[in-house]
Amino acid sequence: MSTPRYNIAWLPGDGIGPEVTREALRVLEAAGSAYGFSIAAEEHPAGGAAIDDTGTPLPDDTRTACQNSDAVLLGAVGGPKWDDLTGDQRPESGLLALRKALAVYANLRPVMVPESLADASPLRPDRVANTDILFVRELTGGIYFGEPEGRTEDGAVSTMVYSEDEVERIAHVAFKRAQRRGGHVTSIDKANVLEASQLWRSVVTDVKEEHYPDVELRHLYVDNGAMQVVQDPRQFGVVLTGNLFGDILSDLAAALPGSLGLLPSASVGGTVGLFEPVHGSAPDIAGQDLANPIAAILSSALLLDEVDEPGAATAVRQAVDATLDDGLRTGDLAGPDSDAASTTDFGRHVADRIAAPASKNAAAS
C-alpha cells in the first residue's frame, strides 16, 4: 500500500499565527512518521501579511491553493497595523471570504476542561472540571454576511439574515454530533426579540421532531445562555448557535479551561475543511515565542479526523495531555511563580510525545 500524502494549504497569517501553526505542523509531521502518512505543507499569504505582500487579504492564488488542497491550516489574521482599513480591505474580511469560498458552514469548537487544567481556571475547579461542550456555530450566514451592510448617509447598517435551508443544515450537524456524545442539544438564540432567531428556533425544533426523536433539545436566550455557560458549564453537551452568538460564546467558554490558547476549531461542510484556533493574532504577545500552541495543535488533530486518520488524531490529543502531565505550561497557564515553557519548547515536547500505533495496527505495514 502506498503512503498517503496530505496536501495542506498553510496560511500562517499574522501575529502569533505563524508561531503556533509552525508547532502544529511539527506535530502533524511527527504524527505522519508514526502513523505512515506524509504531510506536504505549502505556505500561502493571508490576512495582514497578504495585504502587505499583494494589497489584498485573500489573494486569488491563496484561495485557489486552498480549494485544491486536502485541508487548510490557518493561524490567525488581523492586528493593529491594519485596524484603520475598512470593509473588504480588512484582514478579517479575507478570512470571511475564505470561509465562504470553501463553503464551510459548520464551525465545530470543542471546549474541554481536563482535571489537569481545572486549577488554571478563573472559576472554581469543582464547578468546571470535566466540562465537555461542543459548540456548533453556523459560519457562512447570519449578520456576518447579511445584506444590506455598510455605511448609510448618517449611520451604518448590518443585517442578520437566515434562510430555512441554512438553519436546517447546521441543525442536522448539531443533532448528528449529539447522537455521538450524550444526546443533548441546547440551541441558543434571541427569539424573544429577533425575527431571524424566531425562524431559527422553529426550524431547529422541526428538524429535531422530524429526524432526531432520540436527542433532547432545549432552547435558551443568548443572554441567559451566556450566564449559564459560566454558572454551570457541565449542563451542556452540544451548543448550537448562529454565527455571531457562536463567536462570542466560544471566547467566553475559553475562560472555563482558563485560556483562549487552548481552543481549536474545525470548519467543515464544504469540499475542503479549514482548521484554525479560536483565538486571534494576540498582538500583545506576538513574536516572543510566548503563545500557547495547543489550540493550533488540537486544530491539527481535528484536521487528522477529517482526512480520516483517527489513530493519529487520537495520538496528537494524547501527546498534548502527556505534555501537560509532564508539567509543561506556556505563560497563559503557568502560575506567576512557575517557569513557563516557550511556544517552540511546548510544540517540540508534544511532537516527541507522539506515540506510535501498536505494531499490529501499524498503518504503514
CA angle 140, 146, 152 (to 5 degrees): 145
Q: Which of 23, 276, 305, 309 binds ligand NAD (CB under 6 A)?
A: 276
Which of 214, 223, 232, 325 is catalytic? The answer is 223
Q: Which of 29, 43, 92, 352 binds ligand NAD (CB under 6 A)?
A: 92
Helices (H), ranges, 118-221: 125-128, 164-180, 195-211
**Residue 237 cell numbers, joined:** 453537551
Distances (CA, A) of 4 to 46, 174, 364: 27, 30, 9
Q: Please name the amino acid found at residue 227.
A: M
> Which residues between 231 and 260 bind ligand NAD (CB under 6 A)?
259-260
Q: Please name the amino acid found at residue 205.
A: T
* 77 near ligand NAD (CB under 6 A): yes
Cα(338)–Cα(335) distance, rounded to whole angstroms?
A: 5
Encoded one letter per residue, x for contact with ligand IPM by CB under 6 A and - for no contact, window 256-295 reads ----------------------x-----------------
Instruction: Please report, to the nearest 10 degrees, the dihedral formed by the alpha carbons of residues 216, 219, 222, 226 taken in order.
Output: -40
> Which residues between 42 and 101 bind ligand IPM (CB under 6 A)?
78, 92, 95-96
Q: At its nearest, how many Å lie between ligand NAD and the CB of residue 211?
A: 32
Q: At its nearest, how many Å lie between ligand NAD and the CB of residue 52?
A: 14
Contact yes or no for 83/119 (Cβ under 8 A): no
Q: At its nearest, how many Å lie between ligand IPM and the CB of residue 144?
A: 7
Sign of CA dihedral 255, 257, 258, 263: negative
User: Which chain residues interact with Mn ion by CB under 5 A?
Assistant: 247
User: Which chain residues interact with ligand NAD by CB under 6 A?
Assistant: 16, 20, 76-79, 92, 95, 259-261, 276, 279-285, 291-292, 295, 332
Active-site positions read 144, 190, 223, 247, 251
